């Protein structure tokens, strides 16, 4: 049975199999499509990936792409939002919409520089008050952003619009 995903998640060249399995389980739970954008150094049949996804793999809509270029061509018409450590706008400042694709980079390197430059107005960060911590676990970062997007969509943007009309929270 085909279904339209509320949101979609993209992992660009993930390297740690358990992270990919955990994100697949998260996507199954939220009915979000998961795009795995290669090259991948592991197979989805690897034990570590399967274990992290538990027995929910049949519930996950996972699509694999050989390269960024292949994924980009197939995602035409979708709004792409990127998440990275660094001096970007906080992820909570964006107003998420159905059909958005939330993209995350490789665990050790983040997003490729060429993507950050091309999409610089669509790059966001998860603020971390402790500057000594460089980054969050990939699966945790995806969870934080995905559930904020789901919350906003469920609210129909009402909360953000109310804030604008009243001049902000306060």
Q: Tens digits of per-residue pLDDT, 15-58?
A: 988 899 899 999 999 999 999 999 888 777 757 665 655 567 78
pLDDT band at 1 (very low <50, low <70, confident <90, very high): very low
* Average confidence (pLDDT) over 51-78: 86
- How large a percentage of the chain has pLDDT more than 70? 83
Q: d(Cα 19, Cα 144) in Å, to the nearest integer?
A: 14
Q: d(Cα 121, Cα 99) in Å, to the nearest integer?
A: 18
Between residues 44 and 105, the one the model is more confident about = 105
Residues 6+ apart with CB under 8 A from 87: 125
At 42 the pLDDT is 75
Architecture of domain 8-166: 3-Layer(aba) Sandwich (3.40)
* Average confidence (pLDDT) over 83-106: 96
* Average confidence (pLDDT) over 154-162: 63
At 74 the pLDDT is 96
Q: d(Cα 141, Cα 133) in Å, to the nearest integer?
A: 14
Q: d(Cα 7, Cα 2) in Å, to the nearest integer?
A: 15
Q: Domain residue spans in the chain?
A: 8-166
**Nearest to residue 83, comparing CAs of 162, 137, 164?**
137
At 71 the pLDDT is 98
Distances (CA, A) of 170 to 66, 86, 89, 162, 163: 48, 28, 21, 12, 9
């Amino acid at each position: 049975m085909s279904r339209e995903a509320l949101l979609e998640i993209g992992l660009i060249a993930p390297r740690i199999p358990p992270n990919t399995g955990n994100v697949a389980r998260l996507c199954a739970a939220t009915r979000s499509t998961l795009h795995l954008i290669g090259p991948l150094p592991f197979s989805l049949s690897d034990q570590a990936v399967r274990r992290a996804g538990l027995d929910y793999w049949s519930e996950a809509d996972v699509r694999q792409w050989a390269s960024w270029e292949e994924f980009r061509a197939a995602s035409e018409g979708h709004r792409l939002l990127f998440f990275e450590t660094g001096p970007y706008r906080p992820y909570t400042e964006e107003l998420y919409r159905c059909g958005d694709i939330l993209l995350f980079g490789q665990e050790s390197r983040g997003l490729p520089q060429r993507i950050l430059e091309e999409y610089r107005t669509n790059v966001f960060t998860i603020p971390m008050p402790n500057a000594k911590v460089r980054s969050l676990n990939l699966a945790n970062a995806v969870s934080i952003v995905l559930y904020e997007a789901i919350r906003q969509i469920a609210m129909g943007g009402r909360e953000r619009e109310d804030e604008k009309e009243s001049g902000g929270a306060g």
